[in-house]
Amino acid sequence: MDYLRNFFVNLARSWTAWIGGFLPDWGVNLVNYLVVGIILVLMPVIATLTLTWMERKVIGRIQNRIGPNRVGPWGIFQAFADAVKMLIKEDIVPSGADKPVFNLAPILIAGAAALLWAVVPFGRGMIGQNLNIGALYVVAVGSITTIAVIMAGWSSNNKFALLGAFRVVAQLLSYEIPMVLSIATVVLVTGTMRMGDIVERQVAPFIVVLPVAFITYLLAAAAETGRAPFDLLEADSEIVAGYFVEYSGLKFGWFYIAEYGNLFAIAAITTTLFLGGWRGPFVSVAPALGPFYFVIKSVAVIFVLMWIRGTWPRFRIDQMLAFAWKVLVPASLANLLWSAIVLQIGRQPEQLGPTIVQMILLLVGNVAILAVTGLLLGRAARRYAAQHGWAGA
C-alpha cells in the first residue's frame, strides 16, 4: 500500500536500483536519459492516437453524427488505421520544391512539439527538468514552431502554402504577445518561473483568481496551435490546406503529430498555470493520484478546445489580428498592471504565492476587466451593426 501511495516515484527508484545492479553509474544515467527521451518523443504520438479519436467523436456528437464506429469497438482503432494509411502512402516531393528545407520542416515541428514536454509537471517531483526559466522555455519552444511552419510553406513552391506561411507569421507573432502577458501575470503572482513551483504555490487554482489571464491564455494558445476558429493557416476553403498542402505520407503525419502533441501540451500547460496542476483531494496522502488529476484536468481543457472548434465559425484574418491587438493585449496588460499593484499591497518579505486578501483583490480586478472588455465589445458590435444597417442595431 505504501508502495502504491507514491507509485511513480517508487517505480522509478526500483527501476534505477534494478539496472544499477548490473550497470556502472554512467550506464544507469545513459539508460535513464534514453528512457526519458523515448517517453518524451512518444508523448506526441500517443497524444495523436488518442486525441484524433476523441476529437472525431466529440465533433461528431456536436454535429449530431456518431463519428468513427467501424474499426474496433466504438471505432477506437480508427487512429491506428489512419496511421497505417499514412505509412503506406507514396512520399511525394513536388518538383521545384527546396528539398533540404522541405524535408527538415516536419522534423523541426515534431521536435518542437516533443520538447514542450520537458517542463510539464505531472506530479510532485515528476517533471522532466524543473528549469528556473520553465515558463519562458515554453514560449521559446513555441517560437520554433513558427520557423518550421514558414520553412514548410516556403519550400513547397506552392502559392497556397506560401500564403499559409504568411498568415502564420502574422497570427503567431500577434498572439504570442497576449500569451506571454498572461503567462507573465501568473509568474508575477507566484514569483517563480519554475513550472513545478508554480503548481506548489497555487493554493487556489488561478482560474478563479485570474480569469482574464486564463481566458487570454486559452484563446492565444488555441491560436498558437492553429485550432479552429483560429485555423486561418490551414483554412481549407481559402488556401486549400495552407502550409502543409504539398506534404503526403508520413511527412504529413509529422505535422499531424505535432498538431495534436501541441494540443495536449498546451492543455497540460494550461492545467499547470491555471488549474492547479496535479493538486486535488488526497494528493498529500497519496502523491500517485497527482498524475491522474493532471491528466483529467488536461483532457477537460482539450474537451473545451474541441467544443469551441465544433461550435464556432472561422474568423477572417483581419478580424482575428484586430481581436488580438485591440482586445486581448489591452485586457492582459491591464491585468498585469493590476496584479503588480495588488502584489505590492500588504506584501510580506519572503512571501511565497498570494495571500487570501490579495487573491480576492485580484479576482475583483479581473472581473472588472472582464466587464469593461465585454461592455466595449458590445458597444463596438452595435456600432458596426448600425453602420451596416443590420437589424437589431
Question: Which residues are CB-neighbours of 261 under 8 A, at least 6 positions away?
Answer: 43, 44, 45, 47, 48, 110, 113, 114, 116
The three-state secondary structure class of 126 is strand
Residue closer to another protein (CB basis): 154 or 247: 154
Binding test (CB under 8 A) with another protein, winner from 9, 23, 45, 139? 139
Q: If binding is defined by CB under 8 A, does position 140 make contact with another protein?
A: yes
The total number of residues written for the chain in this structure: 393
Q: Which of 148, 83, 136 is nearest to 112 (CA)?
A: 148
Q: Which residues pair with 123 in a beta bridge?
A: 126
Q: If binding is defined by CB under 8 A, does position 335 make contact with another protein?
A: no
Residue closer to another protein (CB basis): 161 or 342: 161
* Minimum separation from the CB atom of position 39 to another protein (A): 22
Binding string, 96-135, against another protein, x = CB under 8 A? --x--x-----------------------------xxx--
Residue closer to another protein (CB basis): 155 or 358: 155
Q: How far is CA 320 from CA 188, 228, 332, in A?
A: 28, 12, 17
Binding string, 145-174, against another protein, x = CB under 8 A? -xx--xx--x-------x--xx--x---x-
The three-state secondary structure class of 123 is strand
Size of residue set near another protein by CB under 8 A: 25
Q: If binding is defined by CB under 8 A, does position 246 make contact with another protein?
A: no
Neighbours of 211 (CB within 10 A): 18
Binding test (CB under 8 A) with another protein, winner from 63, 143, 284, 319? 143
Q: If binding is defined by CB under 8 A, does position 238 make contact with another protein?
A: no
Binding string, 268-307, against another protein, x = CB under 8 A? ----------------------------------------
Alpha helices per DSSP H over the chain: 2-5, 7-20, 25-62, 78-88, 99-115, 134-155, 159-190, 195-200, 206-209, 211-224, 236-239, 249-274, 289-311, 317-323, 329-344, 356-387
* Minimum separation from the CB atom of position 143 to another protein (A): 3
Residue closer to another protein (CB basis): 107 or 381: 107
The DSSP secondary structure of 246-274, one letter per residue, reads T--HHHHHHHHHHHHHHHHHHHHHHHHHH
Residue closer to another protein (CB basis): 244 or 294: 244
Residue closer to another protein (CB basis): 144 or 240: 144
Residue closer to another protein (CB basis): 53 or 217: 217
* Minimum separation from the CB atom of position 104 to another protein (A): 8
304 by Cβ neighbours in 10 Å (0-12 / 13-18 / 19+) ranks as middle
Nine cell digits for residue 183: 503567462
* Minimum separation from the CB atom of position 101 to another protein (A): 7
Binding string, 54-93, against another protein, x = CB under 8 A? ----------------------------------------
Q: If binding is defined by CB under 8 A, does position 136 make contact with another protein?
A: yes
Nine cell digits for residue 17: 536500483
- Are the beta carbons of 155 and 170 closer than 8 angstroms? no
Q: If binding is defined by CB under 8 A, does position 336 make contact with another protein?
A: no
Q: If binding is defined by CB under 8 A, does position 188 make contact with another protein?
A: no
Residue closer to another protein (CB basis): 27 or 100: 100
Q: If binding is defined by CB under 8 A, does position 176 make contact with another protein?
A: yes
The three-state secondary structure class of 339 is helix
Residue closer to another protein (CB basis): 177 or 241: 177
Nine cell digits for residue 286: 497519496
- Are the beta carbons of 368 and 249 closer than 8 angstroms? no
Q: How far is CA 318 from CA 41, 96, 123, 210, 322, in A?
A: 36, 31, 41, 28, 6
- Are the beta carbons of 138 and 116 closer than 8 angstroms? yes
Residue closer to another protein (CB basis): 37 or 378: 37
* Minimum separation from the CB atom of position 192 to another protein (A): 9
Residues that bind another protein (CB under 8 A): 98, 101, 131-133, 136-137, 139-144, 146-147, 150-151, 154, 162, 165-166, 169, 173, 176, 193
